[in-house]
Amino acid sequence: MHALLAYCRPGFEGECAQELAARDADLGGGAYARSRKDSGFVEFVFGDAAGLARFDAAVRWRELVFARQLVRVFARIDGLPASDRLGVVMPVLRAHDRRWCDAWIESPDSDAARELAALCRALNNALVAAMKREKLIVTGVPERLHVCLVDPRTAFIADVRVDDAAPWPGGIPRLRFPSAAPSRSTLKLEEALLTLLDDGERERWLKPGMRAVDLGAAPGGWTWQLVRRSLHVTAIDNGPMAPALVDSGLVTHLREDGFRYRPPQPVDWLVCDMVEQPRKVAARMAEWLAGGWCRHAVFNLKLPMKKRYDEVALCHAMIADAVGAGGQRLVWRARQLYHDREEVTVYASPR
């Protein structure tokens, strides 16, 4: 097989397929997508190995918005027997004549496939043990094996380079809601900082004492993530903030309009999770980034019901044009996070 398998949020298979097709078209085209609505995955098929290799060399997982994980498929197994699934999988691995650093058995994030989670966990330890016995798992190998069960009888067998892949099964970081946070929206910013920045960037760019502005802050879910990292936050919202945040000594709450507020001096970070049309939010972010009012920004774009991929591309172009007009280049990383719904989260910075 010459195919990629992309995990995505159920209901966004069309946007994921559209994004992969757009990237493939830039490289000469020829691939096509196969997907089912609400399945939580897209199969992206190439005509030959050269097309897959060209795409794989040019497109990085971190650059994609709607794909939580992107793996290279080398086999599909239909009709897996319930009594001995590994007895069918292992000969496929032997025939492939490869070695991997680890192996994950996982399922898409759909309602139907989530019922396979217990089966995946039970099979995973057995698979790893079997592969180690046959020396198919070897320390230091750059690729990881992925077995994706899309239903109890069907599996895609794939692999991926660990340095260009999500480090979580299914591409989903499992985060626990902190009881001290004032709202569950805090998990969006936690996941964004974990997903859109690497370890070194978080260490360099999120230092105690830095200054941030949170537009549309109330009740303080995103502010809480910044305060726990000892940043000073100006929280902009006409609504009330959680009293514990205000009492922390790190938060200044201003009852102002997030679409009109301008900081008296540039800050290190701008975060924004306002419920508004994506183009209006993008225009506001363009103003901040092009004006040099912040060094880094994380914001959400609430997507329309239709043409959602096109809307993200349009917002990206709006901000890039504004930043480019000032002679700078826009760093843009966008992802539909696990804790997002009808939205994507963006990290942006002018350089």
How far apart are the C-alpha atoms of 41 and 8, rounded to whole Å? 5
Where does the pLDDT of residue 115 fall: very low under 50, low under 70, confident under 90, or very high at 90 and above? confident
Mean pLDDT (whole number) for 113-138: 93
Mean pLDDT (whole number) for 195-214: 96
What is the separation, in whole angstroms, between the first and last Cα of the chain? 41
Active site residue 302: yes
1 has a pLDDT exceeding 90? no
Asked if 234 and 291 touch (Cβ cutoff 8 Å), the reply is no
Q: Which of 135, 302, 306, 307 is catalytic?
A: 302
The beta strand positions in the chain, using DSSP E, are 3-7, 32-35, 41-45, 69-78, 103-106, 143-151, 154-161, 211-215, 232-236, 251-254, 267-272, 294-302, 330-335, 343-350
> Does the structural domain 3-171 have CATH classification 3.30.70.2810?
yes
Write out pLDDT tens, residues 254-288: 999 999 999 999 999 999 999 999 999 999 999 99
Average pLDDT, the chain: 96
Sign of the C-alpha dihedral, residues 253, 254, 260, 264? negative
Where does the pLDDT of residue 33 fall: very low under 50, low under 70, confident under 90, or very high at 90 and above? very high
pLDDT for residue 19:
97
Domain ranges (residues) in the chain: 3-171, 186-350
Q: Any idea of the CA torsion for 62, 42, 152, 336, to the nearest 10 degrees?
A: 50
pLDDT for residue 240:
96
Q: Which CATH class is domain 186-350?
A: alpha beta
Residue corresponding to tokens 């997030």: 258
pLDDT for residue 123:
93
Asked if 105 and 120 touch (Cβ cutoff 8 Å), the reply is yes
112 has a pLDDT exceeding 90? no
Give the residue among 155, 192, 229 at the shortest CA–CA distance from 334. Answer: 192
Mean pLDDT (whole number) for 88-104: 95
Where does the pLDDT of residue 56 fall: very low under 50, low under 70, confident under 90, or very high at 90 and above? very high
Q: Label the pairing between strands 232-236 and 211-215.
A: parallel
Claim: this prediction has a pTM higher than 0.85:
yes
pLDDT for residue 188:
97
Q: Any idea of the CA torsion for 247, 248, 250, 254, to the nearest 10 degrees?
A: -30
pLDDT for residue 111:
86
Write out pLDDT tens, residues 218-243: 999 999 999 999 999 999 999 999 99
Asked if 35 and 86 touch (Cβ cutoff 8 Å), the reply is no
Count how many Cα atoms sit within 13 Å of the Cα of residue 311 in the half-sphere of its side chain: 20
Write out pLDDT tens, residues 149-199: 999 999 999 999 999 999 999 999 999 999 999 999 999 999 999 999 999
pLDDT for residue 194:
96
pLDDT for residue 213:
98
Beta bridge partner(s), residue 44: 4, 33
